[in-house]
Amino acid sequence: MRWSVPLGRIFGIALRLHVTFLLLVAFIGYQGYLVAGGRGAGWAVALVCSVFACIVIHELGHSVVAQRLGVEVRSITLLPIGGVAALRTIPENPWHEIAITLAGPMMNLIIACLLLPFTGWPTEFLLVHYPHDLAGLLKTLVGVNLGLFGFNFIPAFPMDGGRLLRAVLALFVSYRRATVVAATVGQGLAILFIVAGLKFSAMWIILGAFIFLAAEGEEKAVKMRSLLRDIEVADVMTREFVTLTPQAPLREALTAMYRTGQDDFPVQEGDRLAGWLTRQAVIDAINSHGEDTPVAAVMDADPPVLSPRNKVSWVHEQMMADHYQGFPVMENGRLVGLLGPDNISRYLLLQESLKPKRPARAPTPTPPPVIAAVPPTAAPPPPATTLPPADRA
């Protein structure tokens, strides 16, 4: 996640802190200061840090159980709105999802039970007063943990309750159907929150809107995964493309971008893949060093490559996780195709528009790859005054 800094590793999982979290600490500290001066600020900061420690333990609960079930956990990031554990793969076995989901709120229940003998029953949950001593801090923490435990059972994405509802439904119907039903329940609740917010508090309206959008996002993500599940890189990769040589000046790459719409270029030396050149690298290098810079100076000399047999769903996860935009596809040491986000989005668009669905896999043998090269004597590009935008849609 951008704008997050590493804090270290726990159980092999990278713990990261989003910089906006520091703004929250400063804000809460200032509120504490307004209530009770320097001491108030100190206790307020202690409270917000303790609450986030509990959230880390909650996320670790999810993560450690996920690891035990063979799901790789990439990182836990602390945001001002809570924690996010990023799983590399999504568990689609309902029992696994139930176990992973329950582990988080159970951690909050355990923390509350451990502290309860020292504090007595709290009077507030989630809505907290700033504490002014250790006893007050611990009592507030019990309330917060019980509040988090209850809050996470609201059956709406992105709360754990939404995942739990989906997993239980998935014991009876398909994963995708279960997601649609769980998302609809969540959106129904979101509308109730918004209506309640009109009467009680604007906070409910914000929460309702947030839940409504999260449900939609989850439904889309699952629909996409199910559409991508059975297709392989060979089914959707680009087979006609331009290659560059390491010695070519970047002017050639720019010309090829204008003329072909291709953004990333395999760099070939004879039959060997020598590197990978991205549009962003071309833009940055031309802006700082000019169009005569050779491709070899800015290409990635050791790019990750795909096999035509790789699952597209897996590739998509790598793209999302590692911010790779495109890949060369190699078979038996030979470059046979390119795959980028455009290939995937085009496939999804077609699948969603066609009725009935027609798979990408062609019934006839696919034609051999055609590899074109940019003529070195290419004319200057059309009179565009600006470079294309840096970020792809």
- Provide the binding-site residues for Zn ion, judged by CB under 5 A: 104, 160
Cβ closer to Zn ion: 211 or 236? 211
How would DSSP label each residue in 273-311? EEEEE-HHHHHHHHHHH-TTSBHHHHSBSS---B-TTSB
- In the bound state with Zn ion, the residue whose beta carbon lies nearer, of 97 and 252, is 97
Question: Least distance to Zn ion from the beta carbon of 14, Å?
Answer: 18
Q: How far is the CB of 23 from Zn ion (least distance, A)?
A: 23
Task: Verify whether residue 232 is a known catalytic residue.
Answer: no
Residue 5: closest CA among 56, 74, 79, 113: 79
- What's the rounded Cα separation, in Å, for the pair 56 and 121? 24
Please name the helix (run of DSSP H) or strand (run of DSSP E) that holds residue 18, with its range, or none. strand 13-18
Residue nearest to Zn ion (CB): 104
Cβ 311 vs Cβ 232: under 8 Å = yes
What contacts 139, CB < 8 A, 6 or more positions away? 119, 120, 122, 131
The DSSP letter of residue 253 is: H
State the Cα–Cα distance between residues 197 and 189, nearest whole angstrom: 12
Using the minimum distance from each CB to Zn ion, give the nearer residue, 57 or 371.
Answer: 57
Residues, the chain: 393
**Least separation, in Å, of the C-beta of 221 and Zn ion?**
17
**Of the residues 59, 218, 232, 252, which is catalytic?**
59
CB of 208 to Zn ion, least distance (A): 19
The residue (of 55 and 282) whose beta carbon lies closer to Zn ion is: 55
Enumerate the active-site residues.
59
